[in-house]
A and B are shown apart, each in its own frame.
Chain A
């Protein structure tokens, strides 16, 4: 885990922690990434990441709101998702057995992103994911 003094606050969206807002969060991430010139593949991967992490945050935390911040240029994209207080560490998620009904979310995130880590922002844990172009 690392701390981060200046969190990426541009292109930030805070919503009620409700799965009904997942689509809105994906649209927010897609629009922010599109403005930086991200490819359709990158946008699709970022949408998957925010959907998985937001679902985890909603299901395993008691926070009333959820904040997603997107920061990037045409070479890399960073997504911060609050709150990850229920996560002790990200580690290297393993692929569950094909018959398992759950447990794939973090594996998918780790598979499509280049860096996934826990960071502390304003005293709370966030998941920070970075994707590099190319």
Chain B
């Protein structure tokens, strides 16, 4: 049964990870656990369309995972970034340093 108080859900389906809710210092360990070790053997797809909030704690997980993927000649694809995700990536100057896949 799902935890009604949970602010973040992380669902893994092969190389695709779907994240929904709030990513902060409290919830980011759940995201980090889903990304370490990297799932699958190719690009890792991180769907963040339903992330309602993210702060620098979440950024730390994303940047660390991006670096881990690059080190093994793989990519972390940040798919369909929500408004909150897009804004913090832009403010942080990370838009051009990460692999971002906007909604088609």
Question: Does any Cβ of B come within 8 Å of A23's Cβ?
Answer: yes
Question: What band does the interface of chain A fall in when counting residues whose beta carbon is under 8 Å from B?
Answer: 20 to 34
Question: Does any Cβ of B come within 8 Å of A47's Cβ?
Answer: yes
Contact B22–A55 (Cβ < 8 Å): no
Contact B67–A19 (Cβ < 8 Å): no
Contact A22–B24 (Cβ < 8 Å): yes
Interface size of B by CB at 8 A reads 23
Question: Does any Cβ of B come within 8 Å of A98's Cβ?
Answer: yes
Complex: how many Å from CA A91 to CA B67? Answer: 30
Contact B93–A105 (Cβ < 8 Å): no
Residues of B near A104 (CB, < 8 A) are: 56, 59, 92
Contact A19–B60 (Cβ < 8 Å): no
| A-binding segment of B12-20, B41-49, B72-80, B83-91 | B83-91
Shortest C-beta distance, A85 to chain B (Å), equals 19
Question: Does any Cβ of B come within 8 Å of A2's Cβ?
Answer: no
Chain B 22-43 interface residues, beta-carbon cutoff 8 Å to A: 22, 24-26
Closest to A105 in B: B56
Residue interface bits A101-122, CB-to-B below 8 A is 1, else 0: 1101101100110000000000
Residue interface bits B54-73, CB-to-A below 8 A is 1, else 0: 01110110011001000000
Binding site for A on B (CB under 8 A): 7, 22, 24-26, 53, 55-57, 59-60, 63-64, 67, 83-84, 87-88, 91-94, 97
Report the 7 A-B pairs with minimum CB-CB distance, sorted nearest first: A19-B26, A98-B97, A104-B56, A19-B25, A51-B55, A105-B56, A55-B25
